[in-house]
């Protein structure tokens, strides 16, 4: 199993950006974990801004190197979501994943994952950004442009960020070891149980069109199988997002 090498920063524009700018200084045989107290330019998918309070949340990036043609590389964000959820389940919480990369509790966003890859002929460098609202207050969450929550708001208790990070590092490193051998197929059944909105009618946007229907299942590479109500067919999507729920 890969070892964890920690880098702690007080303030940075983006932990993912820092990772990309410093790839050559990291140990490619292990996982480098860059964690910041505060990010000034944190972002999610589609360049959406990630708003976070100083010193209160988990803002981290995992860097590691894989073989040149890793199996199911596109599902690494799902693997990170699964790892986060398993840590929260050990704390008697019941998280869900809004496919492909949002962590939810009580149908409100708790965190998200952003996976980026840098390819070369002999390997691929993975930059996996993770943000989780830990001790954010209700007032601080109110400025976010979507329903959001934090562990503090949900439990009315202050959480230890360092402990949660250590638990996540251990969980992810173990899962990554399995992933490198077997791809995402080893996690499909477990991930499927975490899918949010499986019993609801959804509107799904694939980047070009919006489809109405419901989630059918997850494929072995982490893609979404979605039942389209108008055509009564199941279509597989490798990317996209749920834009509304009925």
Measuring CA to CA, how many Å separate 223 from each of 16, 101, 112, 226, 240? 24, 12, 17, 10, 10
Domains of the chain (ranges; CATH) run: 4-192 (3.30.930.10), 202-245 (2.30.30.100)
pLDDT for residue 66 is more than 70: yes
| pLDDT at 51 (0 to 100) | 53
What is the average pLDDT across 7-16? 94
Q: Tokens 């490198």 identify what position?
A: 180
Question: Of the candidates 210, 209, 214, which has an alpha carbon nearest to the alpha carbon of residue 197?
Answer: 214
Q: What is the pLDDT of residues 15-25, one digit of tens each?
A: 999 999 999 99
pLDDT for residue 33 is more than 70: yes
2 or 145: whose pLDDT is higher? Answer: 2
Kindly report whether the peptide bond that precedes residue 134 is cis, defined as omega within 30 degrees of 0. no
Q: What is the pLDDT of residues 162-204, one digit of tens each?
A: 999 999 999 999 999 999 999 999 999 999 999 999 999 999 9
pLDDT for residue 53 is more than 90: no
pLDDT for residue 46 is more than 50: no
Q: Count CB neighbours of 36 within 10 A.
A: 25
Q: What pLDDT band is residue 50 in, cutting at 50, 70 and 90?
A: low
| pLDDT at 49 (0 to 100) | 53
First vs last Cα of the chain: how many Å apart?
Answer: 43
Q: Do β-strands 102-105 and 4-12 pair in parallel, antiparallel, or remain unpaired?
A: unpaired
């Amino acid at each position: 199993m890969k070892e964890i090498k920690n880098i702690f920063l007080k303030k940075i524009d983006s932990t993912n950006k820092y990772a990309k700018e410093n790839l050559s200084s990291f140990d490619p045989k292990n996982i480098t974990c860059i964690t910041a107290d505060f990010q000034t330019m944190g972002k999610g998918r589609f360049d959406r801004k990630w708003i976070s309070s100083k010193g209160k949340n988990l803002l981290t990036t995992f860097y590691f190197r894989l073989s040149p043609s890793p199996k199911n590389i596109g599902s690494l964000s799902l693997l990170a979501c699964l790892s986060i959820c398993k840590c929260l389940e050990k704390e008697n919480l019941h998280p869900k994943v809004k496919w492909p990369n949002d962590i939810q509790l009580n149908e409100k966003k708790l965190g998200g994952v952003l996976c980026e890859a840098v390819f070369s002929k002999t390997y691929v460098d993975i930059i996996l950004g993770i943000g989780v609202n830990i001790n954010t207050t209700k007032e601080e969450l109110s400025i976010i442009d979507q329903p959001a929550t934090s562990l503090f708001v949900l439990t009315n208790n202050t959480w230890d960020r360092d402990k949660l990070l250590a638990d996540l590092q251990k969980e992810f490193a173990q899962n990554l070891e399995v992933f490198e051998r077997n791809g995402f197929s080893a996690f499909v059944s477990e991930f499927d149980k975490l899918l949010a909105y499986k019993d609801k009618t959804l509107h799904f946007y694939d980047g070009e069109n919006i489809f109405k229907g419901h989630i059918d299942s997850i494929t072995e590479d982490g893609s979404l199988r979605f039942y389209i109500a108008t055509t009564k067919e199941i279509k597989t999507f490798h990317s996209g997002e749920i834009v509304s729920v009925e």
